[in-house]
Amino acid sequence: MEERIRTMICRFVGESPAGRFPESDEPYFDEPLVGYAAADDPLFDDYKRIIGAFHRTPHEVMEIGFGTGVRAATVISWILPITQPTRDSNRRETVYPSPAWARTRNFGEQLNAALRRHVTEWLAEQGHRAVAPQLEATWREYPETPVGRASTWSERHAAYAAGLGTFSLNDALITPRGIAHRCGSVITDLPLTPSPRPYPDHYHNCLYYREKSCGACIGRCPAGAISYQGHDKDACSRYVYGTAVAAVAEKYGVTQTGCGLCQTKVPCEGQIPAGTTDA
């Protein structure tokens, strides 16, 4: 069943007309990565401490969707890697995202939402309850929390639980396909085999945390929101949701632009970077 689900997700992303630039028919994303986490994984309880008490466990999301007593079994998580041409276009930028990056953030995320709906509907056809946390009616994003901008469900943290990558100096997730991606998830009562987490710690894929040999994302941030002390989520949010949108959204024909400069022209852009200790 795990392989059937992976194939279903990859097919939808590869075949959906909504997954392509209308002017070129080129895709927004490469083939997805898919992982699975057990709903009972203690990490999901830990996230209430790490992110905030408002962050929901898989069981809480299932109960909101289907009623008290309905238990989750698995979190299905995926990574949608942004294509090389789009990454190349953003590498050349120093202030605002490229048009291709902004359109991928805007329209590619619409595809991601459609994928969430597709996965839940497919699972329902197989006789299983399923809910996409970000599409659930009570999902909330909070601009100001003790950890900065956060929501009732973090797709990045779900992906980490599913073994798809580790975190970085700029707070993004470095996966085997790199840091330039979108991610999504669905929670289901279908028991599936959890994916291994093949990393010794939650920062392992980041060269700075692994061996203090990087920091390229610091110089790439036009908002000055990244330093060796970490990521200033408030400064980042003001830039991504305010400054960049005001500057280029109308010009690019989008409502959300993203930024992604710190996810391109860096060693982890499209892979887990090899460090000096890997030679």
Q: What is the pLDDT of residues 115-156, one digit of tens each?
A: 999 999 999 999 999 999 999 999 999 988 888 889 999 999
pLDDT of residue 275: 79
Segments making up each domain of the chain, as ranges = 2-272
Vertex 112, ends 13 and 153: CA angle to 5°? 140
Q: Which residue has the tokens 């309850």?
A: 129
**What are the distances in angstroms from CA 34 to CA 77, 91, 181?**
6, 26, 13
Q: Taking the model in full, what pTM does it have?
A: 0.96
Letter string b/e over residues 89-108, b meaning 16 or more CB atoms within 10 A of that residue's CB:
bbbebeebbbbbbbbbbbbb
Please check the confidence at residue 279 and state whether its pLDDT lies above 60: no
Give pLDDT, residue 143. Answer: 86
Q: Please give the mean pLDDT across all residues of the chain.
A: 96
SS3 65: helix
Residues 114 and 126: their CA atoms lie apart, in Å, by: 18
Band (pLDDT 50/70/90 cuts) for residue 276 is confident
Residues pairing with 186 in the sheet: 76
Contact (CB, 8 A) for 28 and 108: yes
User: Over the stretch 167-196, which tens digit does the pLDDT of each residue have?
Assistant: 999 999 999 999 999 999 999 999 999 999
* Percent of the chain whose pLDDT exceeds 70: 99
